[in-house]
Homo-oligomer: A and B are copies of this chain.
Amino acid sequence: MRNDESNLGEFDLIARLAARLRTPTGAGVVGIGDDCAAIPHGGGVQLLTCDVAVAGRHFLPGRTPMADVGWKVATACVSDVCACGGKPGYALISLGVPPGQQPEALETLYDGVGEAGESYGFQVLGGNVSGASELVIDVFMLGEAPRFIPRGGARPGHLIAVSGTLGDAAAGLRAFRDGDDSAGSRALIRRHLRPRARVERVPLLQAVASAAIDISDGLDSELTHLAGQSGACLAIEGARVPMSRALRDFARRHGEDPLQLALGSGEEFELLFTLPPDRRAELEGADVTVIGEVREGAGVLLDGRPIVPRGWNHLRAP
Contacts and interface: CB of A to CB of B under 8 A. Distances in A.
Interface stretch (A123-131, A167-175, A205-213): A123-131
Interface in A149-188: none
A248 to B, nearest CB: 32
Contact of A48 (B31, B52, B125): B125
A142 B22 contact: no
Contacts of A138: 50, 52, 94, 128, 138
This chain: copies in complex: 2
Given A13-B97, A114-B20, A128 B50 contact: yes
A131 B317 contact: yes
B130 A1 contact: no
Interface of A: 1-2, 7-8, 10, 13-14, 16-18, 20-22, 24-26, 29-33, 37-39, 48-52, 54, 57-58, 89-90, 92, 94-101, 103, 106-107, 110-111, 114, 117-118, 123-134, 136, 138, 140, 142, 314-318
B316 A124 contact: no
Contact of A128 (B51, B103, B131): B51
Nearest to A37: B125
Contact of A132 (B50, B54, B131): B54
B48 A142 contact: yes
Q: Which 7 A-B pairs have the closest CB atoms?
A: A37-B125, A140-B140, A32-B126, A20-B110, A138-B138, A37-B126, A131-B315
- Chain A residues touching B, majority SS: mixed
Contacts of A96: 52, 54, 96, 136
A138 B93 CA distance: 10
B92 A131 contact: no
B132 A21 contact: no
Task: Pick the most buried of A49, A57, A126, A318: most chain B CB atoms within 10 A of its CB.
Answer: A126
Nearest to A318: B131
A96 B136 CA distance: 9
A220 to B, nearest CB: 20
A15 to B, nearest CB: 10
A1 B100 contact: yes
B20 A130 contact: no
A227 B202 CA distance: 46
A129 to B, nearest CB: 6
A107 B15 CA distance: 11
Nearest to A110: B20
Contact of A125 (B24, B52, B101, B114): B24
B131 A134 contact: no
